[in-house]
Amino acid sequence: MAEELNPFKIAQEQLDEAAKIMNLDETAHKILREPMRVIEANIPVEMDDGHTEVFHGFRVQYNDARGPTKGGIRFHPQENIDTVKALAAWMTWKCSLANIQFGGAKGGVICDPKKMSEKELERLSRGYIRAFGKFLGPKVDVPAPDVYTTPQIMAWMMDEYSKMAGRDEFGVITGKPLEDWGSEGRFNSTAMGGMYILREAARLIKLDVKGATVAIQGFGNAGSFAFDLATKLGAKVVAISDSIGGVYSKSGLNFQELAEAKKKTGSVQGYAGASKISNAELLESDVDVVIPAAIEDQITEKNADKIKAKLVLELANGPVTPQADKILFEKKIMDMPDFLVNSGGVIVSYFEWVQNLYSYYWTIDEVYQRLDKIITASFNSTIRTQNEYKDRGIKITPRDAAYIVSVDRVAKTMKTRGWY
């Protein structure tokens, strides 16, 4: 990975920019530039053929000043410590911006889950908890699903932790199946939160969502739900892609037919009646809204000047680099940052944790109403901060503003707790 696209360097650069603007205390800045704790472990797993494979796993607990750390666990063949550290940092800011009682964490295992059987995945999942369990807990660090991990994997992990604790500990993991006391609304919460931000951002730039054209990069959980929900808001999705490539149709795409094509052929490019395009072409489509919902570093200084959308909605983690952020800002394209847009997932994970602790559960309508209230408040805090700096003659991006809000909260908590 080239250093300029090292995700943790990017996370630090984003923090440094905010710290400079807000005149953050030097000691607080030093504390917040690095994770509080990095844990690595080798996880031996017996494979179906009888041999034992050793997998390398990580857990990064970035900052717990405002509460137990919180963050997903990824199973991915290209997982690396810098990605995990960056995601843990972003989770810290995400939880703070949402003003929920969590700090940030992230975990991962270097493996290829697509080449593993269900039983092998279960043994790996339980092995991860045995390796890291003493660093986890409902009041310590609460994992969740992420790339290539599922509610079923979370259920195995929760069960293994409960066995180690000698009692049921449903609150140690979020993103669990409903049967294991997961939360209503959790599965599509990331996309749902993103749609609330789409509604607010579109209103701010006077874009009518009904009839607006949308291009979505990614057809996984977040991207597919974003497609469905954006359509229900009246928007027209004209482009979609997955890791293989994408399709474009000026008249709009049909969600059900896309899902069936993906299932049948393995790619959305199996969809009939649309032009095949690359992921790069999708991002540069002549549309009102671009939603990067795949992986990091997709809009960079190399292609940011080619973006034509009025609004970029970062549903993925880290899809826009700092250099690209500045270019989009100069082009007057509203780029809503990832740790605001995709915070719906951790907000509803927080709801699940609260429900587990109280053993009292909410309806899906209650979940959505509370999600809307919290994420809209985050949006308003971000825009208000941006406008406050503008009134002082300082032009800052929405990302800078969101960072200032979230970093200020963490720094103030560290200060009152006597950390510096």
| Burial class (CB within 10 angstroms; exposed 0-12, middle 13-18, buried 19+) of 39 | middle
Report in angstroms the alpha-carbon separations of 69 from 91, 134, 151, 216, 403.
9, 14, 19, 30, 18
> Measured on CA atoms in the order 207, 212, 214, 220, is the torsion positive or negative?
positive
The Cα 96–Cα 84 span in angstroms is 18
List residues with catalytic annotation: 106
**Tokens, residue 33:** 């530039």
The Cα 342–Cα 339 span in angstroms is 6
Least Cα distance to 291 among 268, 309, 266, 275 occurs for 309
Question: Which helix (H) or strand (E) is 214 found in, with range?
Answer: strand 213-217
**Tokens, residue 83:** 């990605």
- Side-chain-facing half-sphere of 146: CA atoms under 13 Å: 26
Q: Are 67 and 101 in contact (CB under 8 A)?
A: yes
Least Cα distance to 318 among 294, 301, 334 occurs for 294
The Cα 332–Cα 308 span in angstroms is 11
